[in-house]
Structure 1
């Protein structure tokens, strides 16, 4: 993801790194932000004009190995007048700074408690901002019975941001065809890929039969994402059914990609088994205070729709 895209999500990525000063051996004294929240050349412009070596390192101007700070200045002329006032302010700022001459300079990422930037942490931050910026109802797009990646996938699906062929074509990507690679019966839109493709509908039919809901002909992508349940009136039951729908749509998409890129395909019966296993695993781990029984989950999952 490019820097400007992160900025658009209110993530100041470039400004999120903070220099942690150690021995000063890799920090420019004047031209880096290490004290006072701004570069010293901007805080003390008159002094900077008098500096003989403008690209000097911090360690060459301040001796941090002794208990008392020692300064090594090289001025074109000694500061006086207004410049002397800047010099006094600079000395006061540096004298109050906590140096650590026993370690090398390093960078810390301000968005992490430990200061360490990882792909996982950045991905988590992006996901949080994506949900905050979501122009749909925030609560309806969250379900803590499934992993965060499923929440993100569903949000992308609602926003038509998963890379189905029609969306790729709309973004100027030249494809040999925009028809569904699974069935070739229609254009591959998000709704077609996840719901109306005959390969997907075979899986949905089995999931609805598993839950005793009968025909799924009125199913829509919007109903899947919002978790509309045919027969549950409890919040727990609605969340469980929504989680199953999200798992099903996610694994249908995964199967689509495996078929295209790995030439692997699962039949609907195998797909149902994987949906049963994954949904049981994820919901069981996250439904605090409630234990799901595996045999009941396989044979009569609708009983969980009645739990409060």
Structure 2
């Protein structure tokens, strides 16, 4: 009971996962007391309400249990379906179709309770891997960005910060004001320029100093670009780069290192009154790249000088 109550609680938190459970569970008929004739999937995995909406709307017992419907049968094959009024001729055809379906429906087993069972086209038991695969399929391009962010070649703190930036959850002034950390009288303007609202995209991408860093990095790879509107757009564009072998590993690490380095410099300017210089930050980005990648990638062929000067 605790397990199913936890699964039902998912409905409010993640509707697609809840629907995955609902769509792949069918009810094994026992005594029919807990099964709702119209609303539950007990007859061949079908919900009669969805399959016969006209008859459901006319039913005078929409919530009735399967046990009650069985008790009203006049014979083993004659179902007594209560309606609010007499059926018209075109509605009788639907009732004939419903009775044809019910003729092959499971019968009651009075000494056994109704129960839910897992049933899909390929497997007869639930697996966590099936749920994970289903949930991943719903993420679409977001799954690719997520895999891109969690780069095993970099320190975990760098990937975690990049994930926060991607989700617009870094603690800029606008975020701290929203959650009540900063007093409402505190200025939400950028600590770099004191003229625009400090947001993740403004600090990390669009502030002129930040833009110059990104442009210098991209130009060193012989590319031209128009800076994206958000961190999500930046990472999506960066994933489109076509490189091979170790160059690809470097390329995939660079945006995360740049994001981390710009934010670290922002904090130093805010809390230690540091003065930002683009040349100094670019050298630091290159140094971090080679040190972190050489420490995590076996047989990494480039030296510090290779990355700094070439």
TM-score w.r.t. the length of structure 1 is 0.49
Between structure 1 and structure 2, the one with the greater Rg is: 2
User: What TM-score results when the alignment is normalised by the length of structure 2?
Assistant: 0.49
